[in-house]
Amino acid sequence: MNQIKSVGVIGAGQMGTGIAHVAALAGYDVLLHDVSQDRIDAGLALIERNMSRQVVRGIIDQDAMDSGLKRVKGAPELQTIGQTDLAIEAATENEETKKAIFKALGPHLSDRTLLASNTSSISITRLASVTDRPDRFIGLHFMNPVPLMKLVEIIRGIATGPDTYELAVNFAKSLGKTTSNAEDFPAFIVNRILVPMINEAIYTLYEGVGTVDAIDTAMKLGANHPMGPLELGDFIGLDTVLSIMNVLYEGLADSKYRPCPLLTKYVEAGWLGRKTGRGFYDYRGDVPVPTR
């Protein structure tokens, strides 16, 4: 297999732009795709803003930013992603959506293209099964926010080949990341542990054990967490938290993974956290205010 020189990212949201951001700074040529030109443009603008923040903080210099931005280009047509050395899917955490993307991309893939998903919970084996190259399919689960977080979980499907694994690990390390190997079980390592904790915090709120402020303060000061679990849920996106809990509940058939009804209610209301302006906190003012 050839060395990776070009990277295609499918999904110009928070995760996709973060992956494109770090890949460009690491010297890769990057194509960024989404369902509309507006979303691509918004994603490219977000990358520029985040790189500018890194310059201000002294993390990178202006030359690195300028050369990095030149390496990232929008790709309105999905088929162009198929000509890159590594195509990374970073769409919403929905299995059918992800499978549809890989099916649509399939006819346009070059022989050399390696496929990866940034899924935070869904089976790599099942996603790989809809492609023509399950041996060249792997999970690359970046943490959010990608430019700041050092970990990438590497998840091999049952058919993932050793060359694919080696290339994926080397790619992640070239971005300055540390890798952790996870087996292909629901939610892998990080979210298998983290998301049920958030769900339990929501149950604690639901049952009236504590308020939003009390729960987050308790975990920040009592467990030395940098962010309370309800605040963290808002940051991740409550729809994503619910999706991961459903994957755990359905995949492991254990009642301890049952999503809290209050979590479901917030998602039904469209209160998904920071990205919608309201979740367990209301972010529409100058200071976040608990909604319960």
* pLDDT surpassing 50 at residue 1: no
CATH number at residue 83: 3.40.50.720
Identify residue 82 by its one-letter amino acid code.
G
Identify residue 44 by its one-letter amino acid code.
L
- Whether residues 175 and 230 fall in one domain: no
Which of these is catalytic: 118, 191, 199, 243? 191
Q: Does residue 167 lie within any of the structural domains?
A: yes
Work out the mean pLDDT of the chain and round it to a whole number: 96
- Whether residues 70 and 135 fall in one domain: yes
Secondary structure of 55-74 as H, E, C letters:
HHCCCCCHHHHHHHHHHEEE
Read off the pLDDT of residues 140-179 as tens digits, 9 standing for 90 and up: 999 999 999 999 999 999 999 999 999 999 999 999 999 9
Share of the chain above pLDDT 70, in %: 99
Domain span at residue 277 reads: 190-290
Q: Give the global pTM.
A: 0.90
What is the distance of C-alpha 13 from the center of its chain? 9
Strand, helix or coil at 152? strand
Strand, helix or coil at 32? strand
Which of these is catalytic: 33, 117, 121, 153? 153
43-48-51-55 Cα dihedral, nearest 10 degrees = -160
Which of these is catalytic: 93, 141, 199, 231? 141
* Whether residue 191 lies in the annotated active site: yes
- Whether residues 161 and 256 fall in one domain: no
**How far apart (Å, rounded) are the C-alpha atoms in residues 169 and 200?**
33
Q: Does residue 1 lie within any of the structural domains?
A: no
Which of these is catalytic: 120, 123, 199, 243? 120
Report residue 291's pLDDT band, with 50, 70 and 90 as the boundaries: very high
C-alpha angle 209-215-218 in degrees, rounded to nearest 5: 115
Share of the chain above pLDDT 90, in %: 99
Q: Does residue 200 lie within any of the structural domains?
A: yes
* Whether residue 153 lies in the annotated active site: yes
C-alpha angle 281-282-284 in degrees, rounded to nearest 5: 150
- Whether residues 42 and 139 fall in one domain: yes
**pLDDT at position 2:** 56
CATH number at residue 214: 1.10.1040.10
